[in-house]
């Protein structure tokens, strides 16, 4: 049976994001309790590890824009997937904290090569009638990767090094798929719009989406790094972390694929506010009934929906604000989001170490709840929207 271009490109994107985003960037929190015990590391140090990985992601995102323009989408996606494989292999073999940090930072950095190029790949290789389906497949990669990571952790138990070895294999498979499917060359020359002035980047409309991206990423970064450890420190068994991430993956994929339809029907303002309240509320739910399994699993469900759908809506908002140069504008949004992912884990780690976890959870929830009160200046349903993971 012949597989169409829509499924081929979308499937390659799903694999690449499952590896680099779902595993390399978001599964870290699953292993925080293990790394604390195995390498005798504090929450503060583990927060710095997570933030360093996000800083690498930020640098890779900027570099990917240059590589994609020059070489097309294949090169950055393959490089990102191979970096995930290398980072996972180093983590699996790490004898001490130094090599552990190297592996984790490499794995987290890998996601910078996978997101942006698929907007170009779909534009170039997929017919217009299949672009939404391809985007939906790519968008599903992040929660699918989390689900795969959770299942592997549940099956492997204490053998965490085996799990990271399996992550390396996933990265190699994603790299091979991207090499086979994606275009080898850059697209034709873009329409010359001249060099944008500073006012194009920063104005009344763009500052809103940039600050919102920063705020919700602070909350999300803290949650990804510490939510499973918080639940486990309340006395729950070790399976609670993988179970939470499985719920995040299932709920995120189940609702996130409808992000475009939600925006088309209801606009951006209301859905954005709802998703950010869910995102911030998911962090606060971890304060409820410590020692019970229901609040952490409910928190994970709220976070999965709020994170996946919320960031998809932010991508659509970016397309609306930067309509004349959508790729350039969205890269700027990603930079602000990456900055938030750098701040969140370190902030939480410092507050949890020097104050306590409830104070850290309240501080982590606040940026997303504040972001829920920031509406787009222009809010109208659109017939065509780009969805990003």
Q: Which of 145, 165, 187 is at the close of a domain?
A: 187
- Positive or negative, the CA dihedral 263, 268, 274, 277 is positive
Residue 258 backbone phi and psi in degrees, to 5: -100, 10
Residue 199 backbone phi and psi in degrees, to 5: -65, -20
| Cα–Cα distance measured from residue 283 to residue 287, given in angstroms and rounded to the nearest whole number | 8
For residues 11 and 46, membership in a common domain is answered with yes
Tokens of 304: 């999965």
For residues 148 and 274, membership in a common domain is answered with no
The CATH code of the domain that includes 360 is 1.20.1250.20
Supply the pLDDT for residue 383.
Answer: 43
For the stretch 227-270, pLDDT in tens is 888 888 888 888 888 889 889 989 988 886 676 677 778 888 89
Q: Does residue 127 sit within a domain?
A: yes
Supply the pLDDT for residue 30.
Answer: 84
How many domains is the chain partitioned into structurally? Answer: 2
Q: Does residue 352 sit within a domain?
A: yes
Q: Which of 152, 187, 222 is at the close of a domain?
A: 187
For residues 383 and 263, membership in a common domain is answered with yes
For residues 208 and 247, membership in a common domain is answered with yes
Supply the pLDDT for residue 193.
Answer: 54
Q: Does residue 192 sit within a domain?
A: no
- Three-state DSSP state, 188: coil
For residues 95 and 231, membership in a common domain is answered with no
For residues 323 and 357, membership in a common domain is answered with yes
For residues 178 and 269, membership in a common domain is answered with no
Q: Which of 143, 158, 187 is at the close of a domain?
A: 187
For the stretch 117-152, pLDDT in tens is 887 787 788 887 776 677 667 777 888 898 899 899
Range of the domain at 215: 199-389
Distances in whole angstroms, Cα of residue 387 to Cα of each of 133, 136, 319, 320: 10, 7, 10, 12
Supply the pLDDT for residue 1.
Answer: 45
Supply the pLDDT for residue 386.
Answer: 40
Which residues of the chain have a pLDDT value below 50? 1, 189-192, 379-389
Of 123, 92, 44, 105, residue with least CA distance to 326: 123
Q: Does residue 288 sit within a domain?
A: yes
| Cα–Cα distance measured from residue 13 to residue 19, given in angstroms and rounded to the nearest whole number | 10
Burial category of 342 from C-beta neighbours within 10 Å (exposed 0-12, middle 13-18, buried 19 and up): buried
Supply the pLDDT for residue 369.
Answer: 96
For residues 12 and 96, membership in a common domain is answered with yes
For residues 348 and 283, membership in a common domain is answered with yes
For residues 158 and 183, membership in a common domain is answered with yes
For residues 93 and 228, membership in a common domain is answered with no
Q: Does residue 331 sit within a domain?
A: yes
Q: Does residue 295 sit within a domain?
A: yes
For residues 253 and 382, membership in a common domain is answered with yes
DSSP assignment of 307-357 equals HHHHHHHHHHHHHHHTTTSHHHHHHHHHHHHHHHHHHHHHHHHHHHHHS-H
Buried b (16+ CB within 10 A) or exposed e, 187-201: eeeeeeeeeeeeebe
Q: Does residue 193 sit within a domain?
A: no
For the stretch 166-179, pLDDT in tens is 999 999 999 999 99
Supply the pLDDT for residue 326.
Answer: 65
| Cα–Cα distance measured from residue 16 to residue 309, given in angstroms and rounded to the nearest whole number | 19
């Amino acid at each position: 049976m012949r597989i169409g271009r829509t499924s081929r490109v979308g499937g390659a994107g799903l694999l690449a994001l499952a590896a680099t985003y779902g595993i390399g960037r978001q599964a870290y929190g699953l292993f925080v309790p293990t790394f604390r015990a195995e390498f005798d590391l504090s929450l503060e140090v583990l927060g710095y590890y997570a933030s360093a990985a996000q800083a690498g992601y930020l640098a890779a995102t900027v570099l990917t824009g240059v590589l994609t323009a020059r070489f097309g989408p294949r090169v950055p996606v393959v490089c990102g997937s191979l970096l995930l494989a290398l980072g996972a292999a180093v983590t699996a073999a790490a004898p001490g904290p130094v090599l552990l940090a190297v592996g984790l930072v490499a794995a987290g950095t890998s996601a910078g090569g996978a997101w942006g190029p698929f907007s170009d790949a779909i534009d170039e290789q997929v017919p217009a009638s299949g672009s939404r389906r391809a985007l939906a497949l790519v968008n599903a990669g992040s929660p699918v990767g989390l689900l795969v990571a959770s299942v592997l952790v549940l099956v492997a138990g204490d053998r965490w090094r085996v799990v990271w070895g399996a992550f390396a294999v996933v990265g190699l498979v994603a790299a091979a798929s991207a090499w086979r499917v994606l275009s080898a060359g850059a697209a034709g020359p873009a329409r010359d719009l001249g060099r944008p002035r500073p006012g194009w980047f920063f104005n009344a409309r763009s500052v809103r989406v940039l600050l919102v991206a920063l705020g919700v990423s602070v909350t999300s970064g803290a949650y990804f790094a510490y939510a499973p450890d918080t639940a486990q420190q309340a006395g729950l068994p070790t399976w609670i972390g993988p179970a939470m991430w499985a719920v995040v993956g299932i709920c995120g994929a189940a609702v996130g694929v409808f992000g475009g339809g939600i925006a088309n029907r209801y606009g951006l303002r209301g859905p954005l506010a709802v998703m950010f309240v869910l995102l911030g509320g998911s962090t606060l739910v971890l304060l409820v009934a410590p020692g019970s399994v229901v609040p952490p699993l409910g928190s994970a469900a709220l976070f999965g929906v709020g994170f996946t759908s919320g960031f998809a809506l932010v991508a659509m908002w970016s397309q609306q604000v930067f309509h004349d140069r959508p790729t350039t504008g969205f890269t700027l949004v990603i930079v602000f989001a990456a900055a938030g992912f750098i701040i969140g884990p370190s902030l939480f780690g410092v507050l949890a170490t020097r104050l306590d976890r409830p104070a850290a959870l309240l501080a982590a929830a606040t940026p997303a709840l504040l972001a829920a009160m920031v509406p787009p200046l222009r809010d109208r349903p659109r017939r065509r929207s780009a969805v990003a993971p």
